[in-house]
Amino acid sequence: MSTSEEDPSTTLFREYLRIRSVQPEPDYDGIVRFLFRVAEEIGLECRKLELGPGKPIVTLTWKGTQPQLKSIVLNSHTDVVPVFEEFWTNPPFSAHKDKDGNIYARGTQDMKSVTIQYLEAIRRLKAKGHKFPRTIHLTMVPDEEIGGHEGMEIFVHHPEFRALNPGITLDEGLANPKEEFSVFYGEKCVWWITVYCKGDPGHGSRFVENTAACKLRSIINHFLDLREKEKKRLKSDPSLTLGDVTTVNMTKVSGGVSCNVIPTEMTATFDLRIPPTANLKEFEAEIEGWCRAEGDQVTWVYHQKYMNQRVTTPDDSNPWWKAFSDPCKELGVKLNPEIFPAATDSRYLRQAGYDALGFSPMNNTPILLHDHNEYLNEDIFLRGIEIYTRIISSLASVPPLDGEQ
């Protein structure tokens, strides 16, 4: 199919993918120009805010007929992770589409598809003359891929975000290789910890006692034993997903100055992702117990230690969930409510007290975020617009809730 015959939504998606908003030097200026142009075409109010230099936050608004009601916030991030071009079959920012309709580019799944699905769903609704009581805001934030520290982490506490008066926020999810669609109502707590082990130095030919390496081995064994335990638990229980268990990975090891010198210090860093059902205080005590057992020459530092375990209730007692899930049922979209196995900007939203659901409407699709040859099929992408059109309509039509005027 030539570009002239292509669905205009697909053409817009591919244009967005070609903007190299790749870390560590994302083209945020190009992103802003693109979003403002599309917003003007659709008829949305546009605002830009910078809470960090060169880190624009774009907000697009479709005002409701009862703007005092809590709003619908459709969030997405504008940056993408780096690429190793030698491992890609096609250039990663060419948005190449093959004969099967698979569109290859960095950001197809994470998460430029969702941004365009939001915009095209709203374009369709406005074109049909729809009006809704609740205001709809689209927020496009920077730097999610490097922690969101100059994006959503500070934006969620800014007066301009609070002025949006959010009722429910939608954000990114994951592809699902099966027929079902994953929707995420909570996230794991991310802990990054480095353990420092000091010991006695000496010549590499001797059995020196009290070495840093012996202490470090004990620490590593504790962490990797936990890894194996959780891995077996996941494999032995089909009802569990990756979001239900604690993942443990050793990500850095350092120490030593020469092949024949026993070092005075060695370190190891671990990446832990802990489900919100865990007792974090008990888990913390267990980890620090492993370290203390090796003596006072073992210390540790947390680079990140997320303690908030708030989730969004995924059942019909929550009117936002009901308004989200009902149109999915009508469309025959089977939802799998899950805990997100990694981390997104939703953690900042939930920590600030807002309901948030992570949803990227991609089923029958391998999970390829951050991978080489990331792609999304055109038909899956276009179906996602249809799904979002129904979801947004339903959310924006929720009647006044308790406490709303």
Catalytic-residue membership of 110: no
Q: Compute the distance between CA of residue 134 and CA of residue 118 in angstroms, rounded to an integer.
A: 16
Cβ–Cβ under 8 Å, residues 346 and 194 = no
Q: Report in angstroms the alpha-carbon separations of 113 from 41, 80, 130, 356, 369.
A: 19, 12, 23, 19, 12
Q: Alpha helix locations (H) across 78-198?
A: 112-127, 152-155, 159-162
DSSP 105-138: -TTTTTTHHHHHHHHHHHHHHHHTT---SS-EEE
**Which member of 110, 120, 143, 144 is catalytic?**
144
Give residue 210's identity as a one-letter amino acid code.
Answer: N
Rounded alpha-carbon distances, angstroms, from residue 212 to 95, 222, 243, 258, 260: 50, 16, 34, 15, 15
330: annotated active-site residue: no
Neighbours of 200 (CB within 10 A): 12
- Contact in structure between 183 and 333 (CB atoms under 8 Å): no
**CA atoms of 144 and 149, how far apart (whole Å):** 8
**Active-site residue among 79, 143, 145, 294?**
79
| CA–CA gap between residue 275 and residue 190 (Å, rounded) | 9
Q: 50: which strand partners?
A: 56
Angle of helix 112-127 relative to helix 8-17, nearest 10 degrees, comes to: 150
Residue with tokens 């009006």: 131
Helix, strand, coil shares of the chain, percent, nearest 5, are 35, 25, 40
Q: Is the peptide bond before 327 cis (omega within 30 degrees of 0)?
A: no
CA distances from 152 to 131, 146, 147 (A): 28, 11, 9
With a CB cutoff of 8 Å and minimum separation 6, the contacts of 230 are 245, 246, 247, 248
Contact 131, 31 (CB under 8 A): no
Measured distance CA(54)–CA(162) in Å, rounded: 22
User: Among all residues, which ones are annotated catalytic?
Assistant: 79, 144
